[in-house]
């Protein structure tokens, strides 16, 4: 069987079995089909005390990521969307690599050719708190649901391949759909 036929069969099967996002048909417009807000509660990896809550909100052409992360060492820490929301590994390795659907090289968040998950660095103050406010151009909330946000021990140099040489993962959080009207 060709890959095309197999792909079509899987698509058709998924379309038949896919549940509706909303049971109430009056919500069937585009604005209600894909979630536009998400949350990631950050949990420390083995040996770390990093925690925080990050909110993702969809805007036209970008996602704004806001919140705080505490328990960090002073300075910059690599910050990325990783491909899986799997937190089983105590060191965060089961979150996989950076979210990179186009196969681009690792780069800074403002570079034209980069991983979709390349968010650059967050900066912790002398109390170990990073206040996050990032405008992630080209990202869409519904594409990252079920994936994870990861904070690394060191700074992302924004150029080393494949992932910026930012060291071990100190916190990981699964990106989930935010409850409507949550604050």
Render pLDDT for 83-107 as a digit per residue (tens, 0 to 9): 999 999 999 999 999 887 888 878 7
Summarize pLDDT for 50-76 with one digit per residue, the tens: 999 999 999 999 999 999 999 999 999
Closest by CA to 173, choosing from 151, 149, 153, 152, is 149
Summarize pLDDT for 168-183 with one digit per residue, the tens: 999 999 999 998 766 6
Distance of CA 27 to the CA centre of its chain: 26
φ/ψ region of 78 (left if φ > 0, alpha if ψ in -120 to 50, else beta) reads: beta
Closest by CA to 92, choosing from 169, 16, 174, 25, is 169
Distances (CA, A) of 181 to 38, 52, 53, 97, 177: 11, 20, 16, 32, 12
Pull the structure tokens for residue 76. 């910059």
* CA geometry: angle 40, 146, 26, nearest 5 deg: 95
Handedness of CA 103, 46, 132, 120 (dihedral sign): negative
Provide the annotated active-site residues: 80, 82, 98, 106, 115, 118, 152, 169
Pull the structure tokens for residue 122. 């967050």
Closest by CA to 180, choosing from 23, 37, 30, is 37
**How many Å apart are CA 85 and CA 83, to the nearest integer?**
7
Within 8 A by CB and 6+ apart from 76, the residues are: 121, 122, 123, 124, 154, 155, 156
pLDDT at 1: 45
pTM: 0.79
């Amino acid at each position: 069987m060709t890959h095309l036929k197999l792909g079509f069969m899987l698509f058709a099967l998924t379309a038949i079995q896919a549940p509706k996002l909303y049971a109430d048909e009056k919500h069937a417009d585009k604005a209600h089909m894909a979630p536009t807000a998400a949350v990631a509660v950050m949990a420390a990896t083995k040996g770390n005390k990093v925690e925080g809550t990050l909110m993702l909100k969809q805007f036209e052409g970008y996602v704004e990521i806001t919140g705080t992360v505490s328990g960090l060492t002073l300075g910059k820490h690599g910050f990325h969307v990783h491909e899986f929301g799997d937190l089983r590994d105590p060191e965060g390795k089961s979150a996989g690599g950076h979210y990179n659907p186009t196969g681009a090289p690792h780069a800074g968040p403002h570079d034209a050719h980069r991983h979709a998950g390349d968010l650059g660095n967050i900066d912790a103050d002398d109390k170990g708190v990073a206040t996050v406010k990032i405008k992630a151009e080209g990202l869409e909330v519904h594409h990252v649901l079920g994936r994870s946000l990861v904070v690394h021990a060191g700074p992302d140099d924004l150029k080393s391949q494949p992932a910026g040489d930012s060291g071990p993962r100190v916190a990981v959080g699964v990106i989930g759909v935010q409850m409507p009207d949550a604050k």
